[in-house]
Structures are given as C-alpha cells and as structure tokens.
Structure 1
Amino acid sequence: MLNEFRDFIARGNVMDMAVGIIIGAAFTAIVTSLVGDLINPIIALFTGGIDFSGWFYSLDGESYASLSAAQEAGAPVFAIGNFIMAVINFLIVAFVVFMLVKMVNRIKEATAKEAEDAGTEAETPKGPTELEVLLEIRDALKTN
C-alpha cells in the first residue's frame, strides 16, 4: 500500500495538479485584489456607488433597519443583495481571468510562431532565385 501511494504521488499528473493548485491559490489573491481594489472602485464611480448588499427580505414579516440587524435578531432572511453582489463579482472575476488567459495565449502563440519561423528559415534550402533561373533560360535560348 505504501508503494502504491508513492507511485501515485510520483505520477507527473499529480505533481502538475499540485503546482496548479498552489499557483491558483496565489493567483486568486491577485485577481481578488485586482477586482476589489482596482475594478470595483471604477464601477462604483460610474454607478454612483450602488451597493446591493443591503437588499434583503425578512421572511418573518418583521421590518428591520438593515440586513445585519435582521441577522442579529435571528430572523430568516433572503439576502437578495448579497447574492446579486456575488454574481456581479463572479462576472467581473471571470472576465478578468478571461482577459488574462487571452493575453497569455497571445504570448504563447507569438512565441510558437517565432520558433516556427526560425525553424522554417533554417530548413529552407538556398537555391537560385527566380531571376537567376530566368536569366539561365534566356542564355540557353540564345545559344540554341
């Protein structure tokens, strides 16, 4: 059993996955900061600072001054605003991640194209140019 566990851990896919999870955790902090510290303030500037997190519906029929007051009272509430804010934040984070992945893919494609172009140039055999071939044909026709 210990040998099986060692073989499982030593597989390349498991190590790649572990590295991906660690990088993903670090990347999450960067994206969260980008969204919370840079993008959300810009959106708040254009929307007048609308905050949906205060929207709620109390299921016990009582009226509360705020969502936190209702939660402190132990009232069952639909926190509609928190859900809306979570969806908005998800969409923003998803868009930012999409743009970052798109940028990385462009860089990879450019690098691959450069490598392909360098390989093609090295493999192209040097031969006579079109003009040289035409001049040879002309000279051959003159001699005949």
Structure 2
Amino acid sequence: MVREFKDFLMKGDIVSLAVAFVIGVAFAAVVNSLVNDLIMPIIAMIIGKPDFSDLTFRINDAVFRYGAFITSVITFVAIAAAVFLFVVKPMDAMAARRAKGSEDEPISDEERRHQELLAALTARP
C-alpha cells in the first residue's frame, strides 16, 4: 500500500499540479503586491483614500460594513485589470506573433510529402 501511494504521488499529474499550485501562489502574491502597492495608491490619489472599511451604518444592533464591500470590489477590479493588461494581452500578442511567423514560412516539398503520408495513414479505416 505504501508503494502504491508513492507511485500515485510520483505520477506526472500530481507533480505538475503541485508545481502549478506553487507558481499560482507566487503569482498571486505578485499581483496582490502590484494592486496594493501601486494601483491602490493611485486610486487613493484620485478618490482620496484607498480603504473604505470604516464606512458603516447601523440598523438596530446590526452593523453593515458596506465600505469593506466597496474596497473588495475596487480591489477585484484592479486585480482583474492588472491580470488582463500585464498577462492576457502580452500572451495574446506573443501568440499572434508566433502564428504570423508560422504562416509566413513556406513548407518544403519533403515536409508536404510527410504531411500527406500522415494524413493518408490516419484516414485509413
């Protein structure tokens, strides 16, 4: 049973998942730092303060902290914008550049024959 457990842990999927998780946590720290240390101060310059957590109202004994919600929404939008502008757009630009580069390259006669052979072999029943 220990050997089976060891084999399970050493499978590529588990190791890849663990690496992806660690990289994701590190990336989240970078994005959070970008938002908290660079973007939120800019918002504070425009609006006047970066944290609205002290905004509340009461109804009877219940305290509604709507300021914390506003701060969370602003932080979410800032994180989404940072990921979009600094990760998604550059990756799309790189993918478009790669696709453009591969379309411009002519295929040699030998490569075309190999592709035709593979297509013929996979088309057979």
TM-score (norm. length: structure 1): 0.62
Once the two structures are TM-superposed, the CA of residue 87 in structure 1 deviates from its matched residue by 1.8
Identity of aligned residues (%): 39
- The match for 2:117 is none
Query: Larger RCO: Structure 1 or Structure 2 (Cα < 8 Å, ≥ 6 residues apart)?
Result: 1
- CA 1:50/1:105 → structure 2, altered by over 3 Å: closer, same or farther? closer
* Higher radius of gyration, 1 or 2: 1
Over aligned residues, Cα RMSD in angstroms?
2.5
Aligned to 2:84: 98
The question of whether the paired residues in 1 share the 8 Å contact of 2:52 and 2:71 is answered with yes
One-letter amino acid of the structure 2 residue matched with residue 21 of structure 1: F
Query: Where does residue 86 of structure 1 map in the other structure?
Result: 72
Deviation of the 1:23 alpha carbon: 0.8
Take 1:110 and 1:34, find their aligned partners in 2: how far apart are those partners?
27
Alignment of 1:1-144 (within 5 A): 1-49=1-49, 51-61=51-61, 77-99=63-85, 100-114=87-101, 116-117=102-103, 120-121=105-106, 123=108
Q: Distance in 2 between matches of 1:110 and 1:94?
A: 24
The DSSP-based 3-state class of the residue aligned with 2:49 is coil
Structure 2 unaligned blocks of 5 or more: 111-125
Cα offsets for 1:3-38 (capped at 9, x unmatched): 322222222221111111111111112111111111
Q: How far apart, in 2, do the equivalents of 1:55 and 1:102 lie?
A: 36
Say how many residue pairs are matched: 109
Secondary structure at 1:58 match in 2: strand
* Long gaps (5+) in structure 1: 62-75, 126-144
Deviation at 1:112, TM superposition (A): 4.8
Matched residue type, 1:46: I
